[in-house]
Amino acid sequence: MALLTKAPRGTHDIMPSEIYKYHFLEEQFFSLADAFGFKEIRTPVFEHTELFRRSVGETTDVVQKEMYTFDDLAGRSITLRPEGTAGVARAFVEHGIFNEPAPQKFAYLTSCYRYEKPQAGRLREFHQFGVETFGAADARADAEIVALADCFFESLGVEDIHLEINSIGCPECRKVYLERLRSYFESKKDILCETCKGRLDRNPMRILDCKSPVCATTFADAPVTLDSLCEPCAEHFEAFKANLEALGVEYRINPMIVRGLDYYTRSVFEFVSDKIGAQGSVCGGGRYDGLIEEIGGPHTPACGFGMGVERLVLLLDSIGFEFPEPGACALYIASTDAESARVASQIALDVRLSGISAEYDITGRSLKAQMKYANKLNAEFTIVLGTDELNSGIGKLKDMKTGETVDVKLSEVAEAIVDIYSNMILNQYGELAGLYPDENPTPPNGNNFTIIEGGKKK
């Protein structure tokens, strides 16, 4: 039978054989974000189109070319979110979070949608980690979010990545810069692509964000924002650099970074790698002091970043990062007849409710086929139930690695498996477990208890 349809171009199925990488990164990111004081927020996958037009900017590639916009059944213009910040900012205003003590700090994992030409590291549906800080004008807030991203990369053992920073100033000093930039590109108008010719009058800074190789040839001698900063913006940039240095974060100044969204002000930054091809920016962000006011809230200084999850996985794969393997099946319960199959299902449920993985036959396989399947699952322990085991209430729990067996009461299989894994953890990580003598740690998914240090399993 012919396949009915394929996944839309630019989308990606994350299969069970790959999803453990994403789960690992999600746990690592949110754990670190929580340590930095950022709390998770979830916003809708679509918003009113006007939110993105006002926040992202009418002259950006995102709004002009890339948004998935449609009218709903009531005739309202709706857009799938092309980025994460605008939705979080809308929630901040709508729920009156600006009345709470500052700063307010949020972290999220979000799916985003942009109609771009698919290539390695660039999808039409993609995912981002993000953080946003509201209510902090000081450059220490900018440095803090950069340090969070830097610590995250360092915890993963990523060395082939560097931080680039710039300042694009405030609306006042940017007026001076835009005039200088407009004058420069006027002399090169004949070379520019049609889109950039339209940007020349409305927002010439967007020309610097053009992906056309023709326009890129004109950038070399273009004026830079750092030469047009007003005194407060220059002081903020110096403070930003000083705070990065205080936190031990290395950086390079790249005056060509302007970011692709109009809401940015003052500091902007990108973490860039040359290991993943043309789409080298893995994380980008900066300050956006005017956004909350632009969408109807009170003036609120803010900053944040977005980090591409698919690009991060691509980068980690390119450097040979060893993701912790997903937990194998802890226990497979084989059965020889209908009655033992029923008991197998009951035992499996008890084991699963103890937080450990267990499987039993649900397809009517023969005992031989069940054991082959257990091997395919890499089951760490097995137990076979038949008439003798049910009559005696005793089964033989077999360690599939050593071949050793131990008698266990069928009513206590779950307790036995929990004890085995608890002892494994205590033996292997005695020093760590000794910090919590009153605790009885059990792994959430079989033997999936792994410490990561520098991108290597310990």
Each domain of the chain, given as residue ranges in start order, spans: 16-170+230-318, 331-457
264 has pLDDT over 80? yes
Across 231-253, average pLDDT: 97
Percent of the chain at pLDDT exceeding 70: 91
Domain 16-170+230-318 belongs to what architecture?
2-Layer Sandwich (3.30)
Beta strand 162-167 pairing with 69-71: unpaired
Instruction: Give me the CATH code for the 331-457 domain, please.
Output: 3.40.50.800
Q: What is the share, in percent, of the chain residues with pLDDT greater than 90? A: 68
Residue partners of 102: CB distance under 8 A and separation at least 6: 134, 135, 136
**Number of residues written out for the chain:** 458
pLDDT at 439 over 50: no
The 3-class secondary structure across the chain, one letter per residue, is: CCCCCCCCCCCCCCCHHHHHHHHHHHHHHHHHHHHCCCEECCCCCEEEHHHHHHHCCCCCHHHHHHCCEEECCCCCEEEECCCCHHHHHHHHHHCCHHHCCCCEEEEEEEEEECCCCCECCECCEEEEEEEEEECCCCHHHHHHHHHHHHHHHHHCCCCCCEEEEEECCCHHHHHHHHHHHHHHHHCCCCCCCHHHHHHHHHCHHHHHHCCCHHHHCCCCCCCCHHHHCCHHHHHHHHHHHHHHHHCCCCCEECCCCCCCCCCCEEEEEEEECCCCCCCCEEEEEEECCCHHHHCCCCCCCEEEEEEEHHHHHHHHHHCCCCCCCCCCCCEEEEECCHHHHHHHHHHHHHHHHCCCCEEECCCCCCHHHHHHHHHHCCCCEEEEECHHHHHHCEEEEEECCCCCEEEEEHHHHHHHHHHHHHHHHHHHCHHHHCCCCCCCCCCCCCCCCCCEECCEEC
299 vs 292: CA distance, rounded Å: 6
Q: Is 437 exposed, middle or buried (0-12, 13-18, 19+ CB in 10 A)?
A: exposed
Average of per-residue pLDDT values in the chain: 89
Residue 98 has pLDDT above 60, yes or no: yes
Determine the pLDDT at residue 457: 32
End-to-end Cα spacing for the chain: 47
pLDDT for the residue numbered 438: 47
pLDDT tens for each residue of 35-67: 999 999 999 999 999 999 988 887 677 887 899
Are 16-170+230-318 and 331-457 in the same CATH fold?
A: no
pLDDT tens digits for range 330-359: 999 999 999 999 999 999 999 999 999 999
Flag whether pLDDT at 447 surpasses 70: no
Question: For residue 422, what pLDDT is reported?
Answer: 82
pLDDT-derived band at 89 (thresholds 50, 70, 90) equals: very high
Residue 66's identity, in one-letter code, is: E
pLDDT confidence of 136, banded at 50, 70, 90? Answer: very high
- Give the CB-side neighbour count of residue 381, counting CA atoms within 13 A: 26
Model confidence band, residue 431 (pLDDT cutoffs 50, 70, 90): very low
Distance separating alpha carbons of residues 196 and 30, to the nearest angstrom: 39
Query: What six digits make up the tokens of 49?
Result: 């189109």
Give the model confidence (pLDDT) of 298-321 as tens digits.
999 999 999 999 999 999 999 899
| pLDDT for residue 208 is more than 90 | no
What pLDDT, on the 0 to 100 scale, is given for residue 453?
A: 35
Model confidence at 435: pLDDT above 60: no
Q: Among the listed ranges 192-201, 245-254, 389-398, 418-427, which one has the minimum average pLDDT value?
A: 418-427
Q: Give me the pLDDT at residue 448, please.
A: 36
Written as six digits, the tokens of 110 are 């979000």
Residue 117 is predicted with a pLDDT of 86
Identify the pLDDT of residue 436: 42
**Average pLDDT over every residue of 106-128:** 92
Q: Who wins on pLDDT, 180 or 210?
A: 180
Q: What is the pLDDT of residue 213?
A: 79
* Per-residue confidence band for 277, with pLDDT thresholds at 50, 70 and 90: low
